[in-house]
Amino acid sequence: MRITHILTTILLSLPFALHAQKQITTEEFEKQLAKSGSAQLLDVRTPEEYEEGHLAKAANVDYKSPDFKEKIAKLDKNKPVFVYCLSGGRSAAAATALHENGFNEVYDMKGGYLKWNTSGKAVEGANKAGVKGMSKSEFNKIITSENVVLVDIHAKWCLPCVKMLPTVEKLQKEYAGKAKIETIEFDPNKALVKELRVDEIPAFLLYKNGKLVKLKNGYMEEKEFRALLDSQL
């Protein structure tokens, strides 16, 4: 009887748990946010990222900050919370933390600010960033410098990117003369990344004779890198 009671309790609580913490697309996020008159919108990126552009009326509460839990404790737990970061990793963790701290309705934007921005949706403060990094013409020179070029768009704060870097560096040397492997850091090249319509990192863009033939996102093992390159050699 006791086991049956526990299972019943878990099953009854599932609908609430699913409702309390939900990951939704940028389109759903935008619609749901517009419908909610009492929404609390949180940008959980760093203050530096926030200053380079953010959603209108978003409060900056850095998830990596030591006082993150102290700050979210001041929010109203009975009002919906909408949360986003750059690409979804930090916001997912923040949404879990909010749910665990008693917030009844939490919406996490899948793909984050990167997806939102490259979709052409409205942002504030983006003009402060100015034009930075590599230009499109400079990028075009890179992708036409060899017959086969693999571009790795990464960031220092992206754990899969950092984990793959030794493999990328190894293959840069091994494939020299056969294919070019170029690494481009996301943070100083946001304008270029947006122009390339890359909305998720890690991102690997494979070019042949200056034309994009493949775009892959996410973590890859060494054998996957080799297969990707060898497919065009």
Q: CA-CA distances (angstroms) from residue 119 to 126, 176, 213, 227? A: 15, 36, 22, 31
Is the dihedral angle over the CA atoms 90, 84, 45, 219 positive or is it negative? positive
And the tokens for 129?
A: 């960033």
Which residues does 230 contact at the CB level (< 8 Å), separation at least 6? none
The number of angstroms, rounded, from the C-alpha of 142 to the middle of its chain's C-alpha atoms is 25
Which residues does 135 contact at the CB level (< 8 Å), separation at least 6? 192
Is residue 140 within 8 Å of 197, Cβ to Cβ? no
> Which of 85, 86, 149, 158 is an active site residue?
85
**Catalytic-residue membership of 85:** yes
| Residues known to be catalytic | 85
